[in-house]
């Protein structure tokens, strides 16, 4: 049994034993209804109440109340409380009828009236139970969010270091500088532009740890600079195509994510093709989600995918899981009819 379940059952048992103790104290103090049938009725009621509140918890889990909007949570909690109050009233009166016990203070009421009074009296108890249960999960949810925030900050910092080492690596910088040097005499204007592109990429990698998300347009500009530099190296072997919906420009995405996918497309796709190929980047709104697709000429290495050890793939999955709590998806697959590999990301808007 997990620690959370143990804590739940400890609270259940201790809470209802406290209820038993308080009622026993008042019965002894006031001297009313103090007999064997009273103890039997109270004991059976406490056992039944533990089962009923456990059933109530099960219903709350099935309805997944915690994920509903706040107003719906309140209305559902009130509705569940009232419903199970009626059940407790019915069970309490049924127990008394079975053991043939009627409290002295209730002798003037009919069984139906006693059931209604029992239901009304139990509303307060169940409200307290539900409030404590809700408050616990609210605190637990906030604690998890804080932990996720810390994990995200750690991931972003790790991304910065790994990006400098593996993405903005010496080989890429060396190749870019060589290409720029060759252009200094032939095309000084393009050389100056290439230096600006390289500095933009380096600046972006250094700033990645400071933010959780950036706008898609900002990330796309960095990717354009990256691909422009790679195009100097591959020349005619690298064709680029962009299909960008303007409505996605302001959509937030994790920093350096698109750049990592673009680099994977060059490293594992284009560079392995004798005749080179194409990198196509598209962005659109699809069923209230931001869909990003990065395609490249080539064939997916299934062994690499099964091992899931690629830094680009793993870091993308980690970023999406932490930022969007399972509401985003990432997939990579072959597109045989196009002779391309596609990485597709779906993120909530």
Q: Could you list the residue range(s) of the whole structural domain that residue 233 is in?
A: 212-348
In this structure, are 105 and 234 located in the same domain? Answer: no
81-112: pLDDT as tens digits = 889 899 988 988 888 888 888 877 777 788 88
> Is 203 a member of any domain?
no
Q: Quote the number of domains for the chain.
A: 2
> Is 184 a member of any domain?
no
> Is 170 a member of any domain?
no
Percent of the chain with pLDDT over 90: 13
In this structure, are 111 and 217 located in the same domain? Answer: no
In the sheet that holds 238-244, the strands lie side by side as: 238-244, 277-286, 289-297, 340-348, 329-335
Residue finishing a domain among 145, 162, 193: 145
In this structure, are 94 and 217 located in the same domain? Answer: no
Its pTM stands at 0.51
228-281: pLDDT as tens digits = 888 887 888 999 999 999 999 999 988 878 888 888 888 888 888 888 899 999
173-229: pLDDT as tens digits = 776 777 777 777 777 888 788 788 778 777 766 665 567 788 999 889 888 888 888
Residues facing residue 238 across a β-bridge: 277
Q: Which pLDDT band holds residue 164 (cuts at 50, 70, 90)? A: very low
In this structure, are 218 and 139 located in the same domain? Answer: no
In this structure, are 137 and 250 located in the same domain? Answer: no
The angle at the Cα of 235, spanning 217 to 166, to the nearest 5 degrees, equals 60
């Amino acid at each position: 049994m997990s620690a959370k379940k143990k804590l739940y059952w400890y609270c259940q048992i201790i809470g209802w034993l406290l209820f038993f103790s308080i009622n026993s104290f008042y019965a002894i103090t006031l001297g009313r209804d103090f007999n064997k049938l009273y103890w039997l009725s109270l004991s059976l009621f406490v056992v039944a109440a533990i089962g009923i509140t456990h059933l109530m918890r099960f219903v709350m889990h099935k309805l997944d109340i915690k994920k509903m909007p706040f107003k719906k949570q309140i209305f559902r909690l009130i509705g569940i409380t009232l419903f199970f109050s009626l059940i407790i009233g019915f069970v309490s009166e049924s127990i008394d009828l079975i053991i043939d016990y009627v409290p002295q203070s209730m002798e003037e009421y009919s069984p139906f009236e006693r059931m209604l009074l029992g239901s009304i009296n139990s509303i307060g108890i169940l409200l307290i139970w539900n409030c404590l249960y809700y408050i616990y999960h609210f605190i637990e949810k906030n604690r998890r969010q804080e932990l996720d925030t810390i994990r995200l900050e750690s991931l972003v910092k790790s991304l910065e270091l790994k990006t400098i080492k593996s993405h903005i690596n010496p080989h890429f910088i060396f190749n870019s500088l060589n290409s720029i040097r060759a252009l200094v005499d032939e095309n000084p204007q393009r050389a100056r532009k290439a230096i600006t592109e390289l500095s933009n990429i380096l600046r972006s990698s250094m700033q990645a740890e400071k933010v959780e998300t950036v706008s898609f347009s900002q990330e796309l500009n960095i990717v354009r600079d990256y691909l422009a530099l790679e195009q100097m190296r591959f020349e005619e072997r690298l064709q680029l195509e962009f299909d960008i919906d303007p409505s996605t420009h302001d959509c937030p995405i994790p920093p350096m994510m698109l750049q990592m996918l673009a680099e994977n497309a060059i490293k594992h796709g284009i560079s392995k093709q004798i005749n080179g190929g194409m990198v196509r980047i598209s962005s659109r709104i699809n069923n209230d989600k931001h869909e990003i697709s990065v395609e490249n000429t080539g064939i997916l290495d299934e062994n690499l995918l099964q091992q899931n050890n690629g830094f680009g793939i793993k870091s993308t999955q980690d970023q999406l899981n932490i930022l969007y709590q399972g509401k985003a998806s990432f997939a990579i697959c072959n597109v045989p009819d196009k002779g391309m590999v596609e990485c597709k990301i779906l993120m909530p808007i």
